[in-house]
Each structure stands twice: as structure tokens, then as C-alpha cells.
Amino acid sequence: MKDLKLTAKNGNGRTIVKVGKTEVGKGFAIIAGPCSVESEEQTLETARAVKEAGADMLRGGAFKPRTSPYAFQGLGLKGLQILAKAREETGLPTVTEVIDPRDVTWVSEFTDVLQIGTRNMQNFSLLKECGKTEKPILLKRGMYSTIEEWLNCAEYILAEGNPNVILCERGIRTFEKYTRNTLDISAVPAARELTHLPVIVDPTHSGGRASLVEPLSLAAVAAGADGLIVEVHRNPKEALSDAEQQLTPAQFSAMAMKVRKLHKAMEGI
């Protein structure tokens, strides 16, 4: 890689992105919450559950770019207000996706981390606008993108002056149909080798099945990931989006405990 900002530290130190009391890149960060913010009651109940289970941040989609224009698209401003209320009650910093460059400034007023989703990874106008903010940016790898393309998109953000970028491997499209995507576990050590940025994994969208989230999460820990972003719903069967891949609070609690234990054991190796 010839990108100076990505390789500027030359292996002598890694970027730590501070979000509230959480330091992504130091220790192991777990971001959890519903795929979509559907209601105040649903979001608050889930937020309380993931906080109790040890999550460091709350995720939730207020804007949902969907394959079908007729699918639930999110609550927009109302969803952001609900997330802000959940943060106030639980103390968990929030992560939400922004999909339009024109929305970056005002969405930033409601959330702690701006997420750029897989479909927008190469939305260069959006990358530049996010680079002009002081908010941490969670950049998901595009489903058809190479590692080099992904890292160059991070460079767009860094080049605008925002050093707080968190890379997220979330699975890529292959010929395999059993899983929603294919988790490229090799991208974790590769990205850490090529850059100084923290790298987390999304086991939810990688597997697309709740039963696969735990083993993929443990694999991410073993590969050296700095954290996870996981979908959790108080009642997945009632979810308005991605019902089959969201964990129940009980499942998340059990998984988070195993993940923390494995990470601690890995630190001792």
C-alpha cells in the first residue's frame, strides 16, 4: 500500500479510537443492538439487555438501505431520537448508519459513531463528508470489494482530516449460498498488517444465521480482531428486518461471555 496516512505509523503504534469510555483498538470492544430501530420500547428494552450483558456500544439502524424499495426503510429522525434516548438511559454510546452526504452533519448531532455500510463503501462524496466531521467512522467492507479497495476508501476519510476510522470486515459475496455472505477471516490480520487502524468483525451479516454468530465471533477473536458488531433483538421473530440473523438477549449474553474469555486467554499467549 502506498497510502501514506494508512501506513504513516510504520508499525510503531496503532490508532486507538475513543468512543466515550471505550477505546477501540485497546482491549476488545463489543457493539450490539437491533438491526433496525423499530420503536422506543423495542430499542430501550434491547439496549438495557445488551448493556447488562457487557456491550460497550449500542447499534441501531435509523436509516435502512434495503434491496427492495418496499421493505422497511427505518424511522429516520424518530429513530435517531430513540437512539439518543437509549444512550441517555443506558450510558452506551450509539452507532448508526448514514447513507446520504447531505445528512452527515445533522445525523452527527444524534449519534457517537457514524457507520458507512457495505453498499456505500465507495460512495466517495459520503466518505469525504464523513472525513470532515470529528465523529469516529465505522467503515464496512463492500460486499464485492478487495482489501485494497476497502483500505483506499478509509484513505478518503483520513485525507479529509478525520483520523478516527474503524474498519469492519462483514463478509463478501462468493458462490456459497448457505451463508448470507462469506466471512473473510484473513482480512483481519491482513488489514492489521497493512494499516494502523482498528479492525472489527460483523459476524451477523457474514453468516446470516443466528446459529453461526457465536462461532464466527470466536474465530474473529482468534484472528486478532479488535471487536465485534452484533445484531440483537428482544424478539427476533418480530423483527422488521433481518429476523433470521439476530440474537436474543440470552444468546448474546452467553456469546459475549465466551468471547471475553477467549480474548483474555489470547492475551496470555
Residues ≥6 apart with Cβ < 8 Å to 193 = none
Residue spans per domain, the chain: 30-267
Q: What is the pLDDT of residue 8?
A: 46
**DSSP result, 195-220:** -SS-EEE-HHHHH-SHHHHHHHHHHH
C-alpha cell recorded at residue 217: 465471533
SS3 86: helix
Can you say whether the dihedral through the CA atoms of 83, 89, 90, 92 is positive or negative?
Answer: positive
Output the pTM of the full model. Answer: 0.94
Q: What is the pLDDT of residue 215?
A: 98
Considering the domain 30-267 in this protein, what is its CATH number? 3.20.20.70
pLDDT average per 10 residues of sequence, the chain (269 residues): 54 86 96 96 97 97 85 88 97 97 96 97 98 97 98 98 98 96 98 97 97 98 98 95 95 98 91
